[in-house]
Homo-oligomer: A and B are copies of this chain.
Amino acid sequence: MYDDLKKDCWEQNLRLAKTGLVIQTFGNVSCADRERGVMAIKPSGVAYDTMRPEDIVCVRLDDGEVVEGRLRPSCDTPTHLVLYRAFPCIGGLVHTHSVYATSWAQAAKPVPLYGTTHADHLAADIPCTDFMPTERVNGDYEVETGRQIVDCFRRQGLDAAEIPMVLVAGHGPFAWGKTAAQAVDHAEVLEMLCRMALLTREINPAAPRLRDDLIRRHYERKHGAGRTYGQKED
């Protein structure tokens, strides 16, 4: 029933593996079909190089019930569900433990916007959640991981359509987009931004945050109404 969705999910999981952001069975990509109320996600603990499209698991967005697939879905499935419900603009989601993004998450610091590569993708620092409090850790942990992210966005007044990535303190990155392909792109960009922010500070500990007019110029060039980047049909 969900063959196309599963194939898209499988292809983007393989593409994630090719980027070098994940090793072994780490990480996962999901993609949603909003009309049918279903998302497809990587099975838990399965290696990328042996995974087949039929291994992908489909679960309902509203109650998380498995509707297709014989394997267990990623144990991060409840986190994905919380995010799909809170952020209706999302069509694809990626979780990794990529080295630089995870190190910023472990350092529990938002990533400063130092340059136009960053501003081409988002016009704000990359947010980092608070550490999850003990009562939440001891509750429904994977659901609470999603809630940490949603709370972080609400408190800081951030729009998930404009900020397609986040760090979970002590844990690692999540990235999303309109499609799973875009989510994988954002996960790759996030890793690069985290690496460059650290290097920038090592070269110049007093490196300035990019000026607001430069940030807006670059962001609008790619995302504004009169955007000039890419082809007209994009």
Residues of A at under 8 Å CB distance from B? 23-26, 43-46, 71-72, 75, 97, 99-100, 102-109, 114-117, 131-132, 134, 137-138, 141, 170-172, 185, 188-189, 192, 195-196, 198-204, 207-208, 210-211, 213-214, 217, 221, 228-232, 234
Number of copies: 4
Using A23-B188, A131-B214, A134-B211 as known contacts, list a sample of 12 further A-B pairs with CB atoms less than 8 Å apart, ordered by residue number in A. Answer: A23-B192, A24-B188, A24-B189, A45-B234, A72-B230, A75-B229, A97-B192, A106-B200, A108-B208, A115-B172, A137-B214, A138-B217
Candidate in A75, A103, A196 with the most chain B CB atoms within 10 angstroms: A103
The listed residue (B100, B131, B138, B231) touching A45 by CB distance below 8 A is B231
A231, B71: Cβ atoms under 8 Å? Answer: yes
